[in-house]
Amino acid sequence: MFSKKPTINDEDAHSPEELVQTPEEGVDADQEVTIAATRIPSKPSIISEGFEFVGTINSEGTLNIAGVVKGKITAKSVLIDVEGQVEGELNADLLMVKGKVIGDIRCQDLNIGPRAFVDGTIAYQNIHIQRGGRVAGKFNKN
């Protein structure tokens, strides 16, 4: 259950100067080097219950809506909570609706919960509507 931390030998310890890498042979020290970095997933953006936002939202990550949004939303994934409402245009790869959406929707995957209401023009690739979910409007499968 408990284990002893491994000891660090002086031979394994490196000074900061030793960790700096010098350019490889044949590479000019002034030459620009390209480094690929892994994108760290961001925390979700949240519109809390009792909060109303009017305008445009652009997000490269996840947007959780428990309040009211009137306007245009573009995000990687959007979760509209039971108390959440969206009026306007919504573009997302993944859209999960537990609340209410009125307007135009464009998404890859659309999940409509049992207490959700969606009304508008809906363009989707995959759709899942749970029993009790209500949908009105025009459907366009991509």
Flag whether 63 is in a domain. yes
Q: How confident is the model at residue 98 (pLDDT cuts 50, 70, 90)?
A: very high
Domains identified in the chain, total number? 1
Nearest to 50 by CA among 75, 78, 77, 85: 85
In sequence order, the β-bridge partners of residue 120 are 137
- pLDDT for the residue 25: 54
pTM to 2 decimal places: 0.70
pLDDT tops 70 at residue 35: no
Q: What is the pLDDT of residues 44-80, one digit of tens each?
A: 999 999 999 999 999 999 999 999 999 999 999 999 9
Flag whether 16 is in a domain. no
Flag whether 39 is in a domain. no
Flag whether 97 is in a domain. yes
Flag whether 15 is in a domain. no
Q: What is the pLDDT of residues 4-34, one digit of tens each?
A: 555 555 444 444 444 344 445 555 555 554 4
What does the mean pLDDT of the chain come to?
Answer: 82
Strands (E), 17-125: 45-47, 52-65, 68-80, 85-97, 100-112, 117-124
- Give the residue-averaged pLDDT of 112-130: 97
pLDDT tops 70 at residue 134: yes
Flag whether 36 is in a domain. no
- pLDDT for the residue 107: 97
For 122, the domain range is: 45-141
pLDDT tops 50 at residue 95: yes
Flag whether 86 is in a domain. yes
Integer Cα distance of 64 and 57 in angstroms: 12
pLDDT tops 70 at residue 85: yes
Flag whether 60 is in a domain. yes
